[in-house]
Structure 1
Amino acid sequence: MTAPRAMAFAVPGDIETVTGGYLYDRRLADALVASGIDLHHLTLGDSFPHPTARDMADALAQLDRLPASCPALVDGLAFGALDTGRLSKVRAPLVALVHHPLALEPGLETAQAREMAAREMANLALARHIVVTSPHIARLLETEYGVAHDRIGIAKPGFVRNPDAEPRRAATPPLILSVGLLARRKGHDILMRALAQITDLDWQSVIVGRKHEPDTVRNLRELREDLGLAARVHLTGEISQTRLDALYREASLFALATRYEGYGIVFDEAMGHALPIVSTRAGATPDTVPQAASLLVPPDDVDAFADALRRLLGDPCLRKACSEAARDAAARLGGWSHAAEVVSAALFGPIVANADVPK
Structure 2
Amino acid sequence: MTGRAVAFLVPEGIDDPARVSGGNVYDRRVRDGLGAHGWHVTTVETRDSSDAAAALREVPRGATVLVDGLVALGAPGALVEATTRIRVVVLAHMVAAAFPDATAETAVDECRALNAADHVIVTSRWTAEELLRRGLAASDRVAIAPPGVDMPSASSATGSKEPAGLDILCVGVVAPHKGQDVLLAALDQLEGSWTCRIVGSWRPFGAFASSVARDARRFSGRVRLTGVLDGAELAAEYRRSALLVAPSRVESSGMAIAEARGHGVPVLAAAVGGIPDTVAGGGAILVPPDDPAALAAALDGWMTDPALRLRLRAEARSARAGLPTWSATVAAVSRALEPS
Deviation of 1:126 (Å) = 1.5
Partner of 1:204: 195
In the TM superposition, 1:1-359 aligns within 5 A as: 5-16=4-15, 17-45=19-47, 55-84=48-77, 86-90=78-82, 91-108=85-102, 113-163=103-153, 166-168=156-158, 173-198=165-190, 200-211=191-202, 212-225=204-217, 228-290=218-280, 292-350=282-340
Counterpart residue type for residue 315 of structure 2? A
Deviation of 1:159 (Å) = 2.1
TM-score computed with the length of structure 2 as normaliser: 0.91
Deviations 1:295-317 (A, max 9, x none): 11001111110111112222222
Give the gaps of 5 or more residues in structure 1. 46-54, 351-359
CA contact (8 A) 1:106 1:184 kept: no
RMSD: 1.9
Deviations 1:283-329 (A, max 9, x none): 11111113631111001111110111112222222112111211222
Aligned pair in 2 of structure 1 residues 163, 224: CA closer, same or farther (>3 Å)? closer
CA contact (8 A) 1:179 1:208 kept: yes
Separation (CA, whole Å) in 2 of partners of 1:105 and 1:260: 6
CA contact (8 A) 1:159 1:335 kept: yes
CA contact (8 A) 2:147 2:326 kept: yes
Deviations 1:10-57 (A, max 9, x none): 110222242211111122223312222111111111xxxxxxxxx211
Aligned pair in 2 of structure 1 residues 104, 331: CA closer, same or farther (>3 Å)? same
Give the gaps of 5 or more residues in structure 2. none
Deviation of 1:164 (Å) = 7.8
Separation (CA, whole Å) in 2 of partners of 1:72 and 1:144: 24
Separation (CA, whole Å) in 2 of partners of 1:275 and 1:70: 44
Deviations 1:221-267 (A, max 9, x none): 23223xx2141100112223221111111101101111111111111
Aligned pair in 2 of structure 1 residues 24, 165: CA closer, same or farther (>3 Å)? farther
CA contact (8 A) 1:4 1:36 kept: no
Deviation of 1:172 (Å) = 5.3
CA contact (8 A) 1:75 1:98 kept: yes
Structure 1 residue ranges, 4+ long, deviating more than 6 angstroms after superposition: none
CA contact (8 A) 1:18 1:241 kept: no
Partner of 1:49: none
Separation (CA, whole Å) in 2 of partners of 1:107 and 1:35: 39
Separation (CA, whole Å) in 1 of partners of 2:38 and 2:317: 32
Separation (CA, whole Å) in 1 of partners of 2:313 and 2:278: 15
Separation (CA, whole Å) in 1 of partners of 2:315 and 2:266: 8
Counterpart residue type for residue 92 of structure 1? I
SS in 2 for 1:246: helix
Separation (CA, whole Å) in 2 of partners of 1:152 and 1:27: 20
Separation (CA, whole Å) in 2 of partners of 1:346 and 1:292: 30
SS in 1 for 2:86: coil
SS in 1 for 2:219: coil
Deviations 1:104-151 (A, max 9, x none): 23334xxxx111111110111221101111110111111113421101
Calculate percent identity across the aligned residue pairs: 36
CA contact (8 A) 1:263 1:285 kept: yes
CA contact (8 A) 1:107 1:184 kept: no
Separation (CA, whole Å) in 1 of partners of 2:316 and 2:3: 39
Separation (CA, whole Å) in 2 of partners of 1:290 and 1:320: 18
